[in-house]
Structure formats: structure tokens, C-alpha cells
Amino acid sequence: MASGKKEVLYALYNDETELFAAIRAAKAKHLDIMDVFTPFPVHGLDPIMEFEESRLHIVGFVFGALGTLTAFLSMSWIFTRDWPIIFGGKPYWSVPAFIPITFELTVLFCAIGMVVSFYTVCGLGPGVTNETLDDRITDDKFCLAFSTNGKSDGEVSDLKSFLNSTKPFEVNAKTLSK
């Protein structure tokens, strides 16, 4: 996150179809979108925003594989080397009995690893406070935001008239402290 104040011009929309139309119009005009905010995950936003494919699933796979190995290898070591116990006449190295725990640790590592990675990348986490652009984007409004830092008044008013042409619910300007 860049330090210093950030001037933002944003439009609020009532639903995602209007937001999609506005994004497409902005992309057609080659405008530099700062960000888009939605109250819930909206399908199909990534390709329109021309984002690169997320690498979160690779992180998920790596953490999952780590969980598989951790569980399987530690159980194998514990039950054959460290503290061998015979359970119900089964051999020490009883693979079928290890599978459920291996599965659970795979899911656990994968889930926690992905949450921690996601929070780290997004600068989120306990104790972190991020200024919200508009409270209503956490409720039912969809927001398309442009940065107006270093833009001349003429450019800002052009941008404003563009946003007004996309049938928004309303258009506002705000200065964020960081």
C-alpha cells in the first residue's frame, strides 16, 4: 500500500449487470480502473477486469501436499520407529488406518495455508484496519473506483461525466488517508 493520501472518484451501482456494463465501457475507453468493490464474490469479474489467473490454488495445492506428507510421514515414523504399538493385531505400518488422518491434515493445512496467504497478500488480518471507501459496498452496492491522484481538474470532470453516463446509483469523491 502506497503511503500518503489517495484521492478517489467512485460510482455506486445497484447490481452487478450495471457494474459489468460500466467496466466494459471503461475498458473500451482504456481508462485506468483503480479497483472494483462488491458486497459478495461476483462470478466473471476476473476476465472482464483482465486480471491474471490467481495463484492462490497453487498455494492451496502446495499446502495440501505439505499436509499429506506431514501426516503420513509423521504417523509412519511414530508407529514404526518412535513408539510402535500393535492395534488390534494390525501391522505397525497400517496404511489404511493412516488415510483418514492424512486426509484431515491435508484439508487443514490447505485451508489454513490459503487463508494465511490470502490475508498476507491482501494486507488483512487481526488488528489491521483498512479505511472503507463507502459503507454501502459492504451491504448492497457495487462500486467502480478511479484514482484521481495527480489528475487535472479537466480529467477529473471528464471521468465524472463518464461515470454519470454509465447510469450509476450515485457518483462520489473521497480522500483516503492511505
- Point out which span in 3-11, 25-33, 96-104, 149-157 binds another protein (CB under 8 A): 96-104
- Point out which span in 30-38, 92-100, 120-128, 135-143 binds another protein (CB under 8 A): 92-100
Of 78, 99, 112, 173, the residue at the interface with another protein (CB under 8 A) is 99
Quote the CA–CA distance of 137 and 37 in Å, as a whole number.
Answer: 7
DSSP class of 150: T
- Point out which span in 21-29, 85-93, 107-115, 169-177 binds another protein (CB under 8 A): 85-93
Q: What is the contact mask toward another protein in residues 27 to 46, using x (rule: CB under 8 A)?
A: ----------------xx--
CA atoms within 13 A on the CB side of 125: 9
Tell me which residue of 140, 176, 173 sits closest to 1, measured CA to CA: 176
Longest dimension (CA), the chain: 83
As measured in angstroms, the least distance from the Cβ of 168 to another protein is: 22
The torsion region of residue 150 among left (phi > 0), alpha (psi -120 to 50) and beta comes to: left
Residues in contact with another protein by CB under 8 A are 43-44, 53, 57, 61, 88-90, 96-97, 99-100
